[in-house]
Amino acid sequence: MIIEALIGVTFLAALVVFVAPDEYAGKLAAALSALPVLGSLWMWAQYDASGNALLGGSIAFETDVVWLTLGGLDLHWFVGVDGISLPLVVLTTILTTLAIVSAWTPISNRESQFYGLMLFMEANLLGVFTALDFFAWFVFWEAVLVPMYFLIGVWGGPNRRYAAIKFFVYTNVASLVMFIGFIALVFGLGDSVSSMRLPEIAQALRAGALGGFAGLDAATLKTVAFVATFLGFAVKVPVAPLHTWLPDAHVEAPTPVSVMLAGVLLKMGTYALLRFNFTMMPDVATALVVPIAGIAVISVIYGAMLALAQQDLKRIVAYSSVSSMGYVILGLVAYTTYGVGGATFQMIAHGLISGLMFMAVGVIYNTTHTRMVGDMSGIADRMPLTAGIFVAGAFGYMGLPLMAGFAGEFFIFKGSFASTVHSAMPLFTAAAMFGIVIVAGYLLFAMQRTLFGPFSFDGEYEITNAPTHDVAPLAVLLLLVIVLGVAPDLFFGMIQDAVNPILSGGGL
C-alpha cells in the first residue's frame, strides 16, 4: 500500500497547494513534497525483493487487483517496484522537492498553480515508474505531459508557446507510435495473455508466444513493434536526431522545470526502453545492435559537438543531456551486467548531475538575468559559493571519479566494451567514450569564460552571493552525487539483481 500512499499523498498535496494562497504555496509545496521523499526512502530501506519484476522476480510493495475489464482484457491496478524502478522513484521524489525549493526565487506569479502542477507531475511520474500494467502505465505516461506542457507554456521564457507546443506534439506523436506498436504486439500474442500486465506480456514474448497479426508474421511483427516502440521512447530520451524539441523546451522552461525535465522526464524514455524493448524483445534488440549502438554513438558525439557550439549556458547543459543519454543507450544494448546495470545507474547519476547543473545555471541567472557566456566574466569573485558548486558539478558532469557520473559511465563502458552481442562493440564503445573529452572541452571553456578571469558584467544588477535557499538544493545534490560516486552499491546492487534476469534467455 505504500505505493498507493505515495502517489495518493502526492496527488492530494497537489490539490492542497493548488488552492493555497500564492504567498505560502512554495513553502507548503516543499513541506508536503517531503512526505513522498520520506516514503521513498522508507521503501529503499525496507526493500527486500529480488530479480526482475517483469521476468518472474519478486516484486516489492506489490498490489495487483482487477480494476476493470475492457474489451475482453482484464485491466489491473498493478503496481510494485524492483531494483530498476525503485532508484528512479527515489530520484523522482528527491529531485521534485529540490526543484520546488529552487523555484522560490524565480517563480513570482501564479505560485499555487505552479507548485500544484509540479506535485501533480511528480504523482504521475511515480505512477510511471511503479505501474506494472500497461493501461495504468500508459495513463500515467500520458498524464505527465499535461503539467509539463503548462509549466513550460505558462511560466516559460519569451518563446514559451512554441516550445510547449513542440514538446507536447512531438512527444505525443511519439507516444502514439509507441502505443500502436505495443498494442500490435498484444494482439499478436492473442490468447496467450489474459491481461495487460507487463510481466505477463514480457514473459509471453520471451517465451516465443507471439503469433502473426495484421498480415505480418511473428518475426516481422516483432521487429516492426520493436522499431515503433523504440522510436516512440527515443523521442523522450531524446536520441539524435529526434532531440530538437529538447533545447527549445529547456531554454524556455523556468529552471525548476528544466530540472524535472532533464532529471526525471528524460529517464521515462530510457526506463521504458529498458522495460519494453530491451527486456521484452532482446532477440530483436541484439539483431539491431549496429543501428542502435550507432545511434548511441551519434547521440554522444553529435550532442557534445552541439553543446560545444552554444553560447547560452542552459543550451550547453541541455545538449549535453543528449550526449549523456547516448551512453545509456549504449549500455542497454550491450546486454551485460555492467552495461545494462550501468545504464540504469547512469539514469540516476545523470538525473542528479543534470539537475545540479541546471540549478547552478539558474542561480546565476537569478542574479545576473542572463545566461549568455559572453555577458559576464569572473563572477566567481562575487558568488564564490555558487561558483564553487558549479565547478564541482561540472566536474561531476565530466565524469570525475568518486562522483556518480563516473560510476555510471565507467560501468557502461566496461559493460559495453566486453559485450558479446556484436564484434564491433569495443569500437562503438571507444568511439562513444571520446565524449568524455568533448564534455570537458565545453564545460571548462564555459567556466573559464563566465566564472573566472577579471570580473566584468554589463547588466544593471548587483551581483552578490545567492540566498541560502537557492544554494541549499545545489549543496544537497552535490552531496548525493558524491555519496553515490563513492558508494554506488547503494543502488547498484539492487539494479544488477534486477538486470541480470534480462541477460539470458528470451532468444539471446
Partner 1 sequence: MVGIFDFAPAIVLLPFVSFLVALAVGDRLPKGGALAGIAATAGSLLLAAATFLTVAGGRTYDATIYTWAEGIEAVDLTFGILIDPLSAMMLLIVTLIAFLVHVFSLGYMNDEGEVGLPRYYAGLGLFTASMLGFVVADNLLMAFMFFELVGLCSYLLIGFWFREPGPPSAAKKAFLVTRFGDYFFLVGVVAVFATFGTAAFSGSESFPVLAEAALHGEATVNTFGFAPQTWFTIVGLLVLGGVVGKSAQFPLHTWLPDAMEGPTPVSALIHAATMVAAGVYLVARMYGFYALSPDALAIIALIGGFTALFAATMGVVKREIKQVLAYSTISQYGYMMLALGGGGYVAATFHLMTHAFFKALLFLGAGSVIIAMHHNEDMWDMGGLKEKMPVTYYAFLSGSLALAGIFPFSGFWSKDEVLYETLIHGLGGSPVLLAAYAMGLLAVFFTGFYTFRMVFLTFHGEPRTQTASDPHSVRWNVKGPLAVLGVLAATTGLVNMVPVEKLLGIGGIDFLHQWLDMSTESLNAHHYGELIPYSSAYIGGEATTVAIGAGVSLGLALAGAGLAHLLYNVPEPVEHTDRLGGIKTLLYNNYYQDEYQVWLANGVTRPVARVANKFDQGVVDGVVNGVSSVSLFSGSRVRRIQTGVVSNYAVLLTLGLTALLLAFGLLGGWFV
Binding to partner 1, residues 458-487 (CB under 8 A): 486-487
The site map against partner 1 for 188-207 (x = CB under 8 A) is --x-----------------
Using CB under 8 A, pick the residue from 173, 207, 219, 479 that binds partner 1: 173
Out of 46, 434, 461, 467, the only residue in the binding site for partner 1 (CB under 8 A) is 434
Rounded CA gap, 236 and 245, in Å?
A: 9
Residue 18 lies near partner 1 (rule: CB under 8 A): no
Beta carbon of residue 337, minimum distance to partner 1 (angstroms, whole number):
4
What DSSP element (H or E) covers 75? strand 73-81
Q: Does residue 305 interact with partner 1 by CB under 8 A? A: yes
**Residues 411, 421, 471, 484: which binds partner 1 (CB under 8 A)?**
411
> Rounded distance, CA 452 to CA 239, Å?
33
User: Is 244 among the residues that bind partner 1 (CB under 8 A)?
Assistant: yes
User: Residue 333's Cα: distance from chain center in Å?
Assistant: 18
- Which of 85, 102, 112, 429 is close enough to bind partner 1 by CB under 8 A? 429
Q: What is the largest CA-CA distance in the chain?
A: 71
CB of 288 to partner 1, least distance (A): 22
Closest separation in Å from C-beta 400 to partner 1 = 6
Question: DSSP secondary-structure letter at 211?
Answer: -
Q: How far is the CB of 126 from partner 1 (least distance, A)?
A: 19
- 153 lies in the binding site for partner 1 (CB under 8 A): yes
Output the DSSP codes for 28-60.
HHHHHHHHHHHHHHHHHHH----S-TTTT---E
Q: In the complex, what is the shortest distance from the CB of residue 433 to partner 1, in angstroms, rounded to a whole number?
A: 6
Taking the C-alpha atoms of residue 133 and residue 311, their distance in angstroms, rounded to an integer, is 44
* Residues in Cβ contact with 209 at an 8 Å cutoff, skipping those fewer than 6 apart: 189, 192, 193
CB of 110 to partner 1, least distance (A): 10
Does position 406 interact with partner 1 (CB under 8 A)? The reply is: yes
Identity of the residue, 37 or 352, whose beta carbon is nearer to partner 1 in the bound complex: 352
Binding to partner 1 by residue 407, rule CB under 8 A? Answer: yes
Q: Which of 12, 41, 172, 508 binds partner 1 (CB under 8 A)?
A: 172
Q: Which is nearer to partner 1, 39 or 488 (CB)?
A: 488
Minimum distance from residue 368 beta carbon to partner 1 (Å): 18
Contact indicator for 295, 330 with CB cutoff of 8 Å: no
Residue 217: how many other CB atoms lie within 10 Å: 12
Give the long-range contacts of residues 144-149, CB within 8 A, separation 24 or more: 144/265, 144/268, 145/171, 145/172, 145/175, 146/120, 147/117, 147/118, 147/120, 147/121, 148/121, 148/257, 148/260, 148/261, 148/265
| 61 or 167: CB nearest partner 1 | 167
Is residue 430 a contact residue for partner 1 (CB under 8 A)?
yes
The set of cell numbers assigned to 12 is 492530494
Sign for the pseudo-dihedral over CA of 212, 200, 270, 279: negative
Alpha carbons 344 and 243: distance in angstroms, whole number: 20
Q: How far apart are the first and last CA of the chain?
A: 36
Among 436, 466, 477, 502, binds partner 1 (CB under 8 A): 436
Of the candidate residues 336, 344, 346, 366, the single one contacting partner 1 (CB under 8 A): 336
Closest distance to partner 1 from the beta carbon of 176 (Å): 7
Place of cell 509549466: 151
Q: Applying CB under 8 A, does 380 fall inside the site for partner 1? A: yes
Least Å from the CB of residue 245 to partner 1: 7
Of residues 13 and 394, the one with the C-beta less far from partner 1:
394
Question: Which residues ranging from 222 to 241 are in contact with partner 1 (CB under 8 A)?
Answer: 240-241
Told to check if 276 binds partner 1 by CB under 8 A, we report no
Which of these segments, 19-27, 201-209, 285-293, 336-344, binds partner 1 (CB under 8 A)?
336-344
Place of cell 504486439: 185
Kindly state the smallest distance separating residue 161's Cβ from partner 1, in Å: 5
**Interaction of residue 58 with partner 1, rule CB under 8 A:** no
User: Residue 239: left if φ>0, alpha if ψ -120 to 50, beta else—which one?
Assistant: beta
